[in-house]
Amino acid sequence: MTRNDAIVAAYRVLQRLYPRAFREEYGDDIVQLFREQLRDESSWRVCGRGLVDFAVSLPTRHVEIRMARNRTPALVMLVSLVLAATTFAFVEGLVGVAVAALGAALAIIIWRKERPARAERGAAGRWWKLLTSGIALLAIVLGATTAMGELSEPEWVVFAVALLVSVTLIGTGTVLGVIHLTDRHRANRIAA
Amino acid sequence: MTPRDRLKPLPVAAVHIVLALLPGELHGYALMRKVEELSDGTVRLGPGTLYGTINRLVDDGLIEETTGRVARQDGERRRYYQLTSGGRAVALDELSRLQTLVRRVRSRLPKDATA
């Protein structure tokens, strides 16, 4: 066993202190990268930098995992939305509207604070799934109603809800698609 | 309020990674070297920081792993990463923001202070 092999083995042992999920996903890559650093640079320098990096990144990874597990904001957001909807539906007058608005505002604030950084841009990439599922649902609804002929009252409710969902999917997919294609066009133009 | 105003700024390590990935896909070690090269050696990402940031960027949908989809001739086990379309737009936004920052600061400097 060479000295570098021994250093890599010791570094691999240290990796066990990272959270399990992170270690399982990236542990081998981290060790491989460390090994490549040792191949190209002075081992003392690599070890020093590696230890500093380990000391900094270890607590960060654990905090991230704990924050990802924290479901309190999602629960508070859900309660706020339910409060807003219930108040709006059952409490008449200005008080009902005011409490509903407060609940909705609280839910929006929590959503804005808790969403991942810039995740909405990634969401635009899924536009075609929404669009195609909306079109497919619309085709099924129209096909089924044509085949069934006269609809009873409960069937009309199902038809209306399915129609609303399909139109919402198509609308959302179209908007996200426009955002996505505009972003791509802009990126290509700047890169060119 | 523009869409950019509503977005949280990326941390320094993440900015360097998305900018380093603008020309194309890279594996971890090449990415680390590229960041070091782009910053003239002032930003050195250690393995834990690099993969922690990669993990966050993958979760946020800004970069994606390409190893599964790109056939490798040499059979190596490296994992490659590239920007998603959203990640590319964010990287170009960051580039534009930095260019604007430099231009504005330069225009406000006294003449004898400019390089």
Q: What is the pLDDT of residues B30-87, one digit of tens each?
A: 999 999 999 998 999 999 999 999 999 998 899 999 876 555 555 557 899 999 999 9
In a domain, B67, yes or no: yes
In a domain, B33, yes or no: yes
pLDDT at A114 over 70: no
Task: Find residues 63-102 of chain A whose CB sits inside 8 Å of chain B.
Answer: 64
Q: Which two tokens stand for residue A170?
A: 């198509």
In a domain, B25, yes or no: yes
- B41 Cβ contact list (under 8 Å, min separation 6): none
Q: What is the pLDDT of residues A25-78, one digit of tens each?
A: 999 999 999 999 999 988 888 998 988 898 888 888 887 876 665 555 666 666
Q: Which two tokens stand for residue A163?
A: 């129609």
Binned at pLDDT 50, 70 and 90, residue B6 comes out as very low
The pLDDT of residue A68: 66
CB B81 within 8 A of CB B27: yes
pLDDT at B18 over 90: yes
Chain-centre distance for alpha carbon A95:
35
Q: What is the pLDDT of residues A86-101, one digit of tens each?
A: 666 666 666 666 666 6
In a domain, B4, yes or no: no
Report the distance separating Cα A158 and Cα A146, nearest Å: 14
Containing structural domain, residue B83: 10-113
Domain count of chain B?
A: 1
The pLDDT of residue B4: 45
Report the distance separating Cα A135 and Cα B45, nearest Å: 46
CATH number reported for the structural domain that contains residue B29 in this entry: 1.10.10.10
Look at A109 and A122; give whichever has higher pLDDT: A109
The pLDDT of residue A165: 79
Report the distance separating Cα A127 and Cα A174, nearest Å: 7
Contacts of A26 in chain B (CB under 8 A): 51, 54-55
Structural domain spans, chain A: 3-69, 116-192
| B41-60 b/e (C-beta count within 10 Å ≥ 16 → b) | eebebbbbbbbbbbbbbbeb
Q: Would the CB atoms of B46 and A54 count as touching at under 8 Å?
A: yes
In a domain, B101, yes or no: yes
- B50 Cβ contact list (under 8 Å, min separation 6): A33, B13, B17, B28, B31, B32
**Using only C-alpha atoms, what is the Rg of chain B?**
16
Candidate from A53, A119, A122 with C-beta closest to B48: A53
The pLDDT of residue B45: 92
Task: Find residues 11-30 of chain A whose CB sits inside 8 Å of chain B.
Answer: 18, 22, 25-26, 29-30
Half-sphere exposure of A57 (CA within 13 A, CB side): 28
Q: Would the CB atoms of B62 and A121 count as touching at under 8 Å?
A: yes
In a domain, B26, yes or no: yes
CB B48 within 8 A of CB B76: no
In a domain, B1, yes or no: no
DSSP class of residue A17 equals: G
In a domain, B71, yes or no: yes
Establish if A192 touches chain B: CB-CB under 8 angstroms: no
DSSP class of residue B32 equals: H
Return the ∠ at Cα A10 (arms to A7 and A16), rounded to 5°: 145
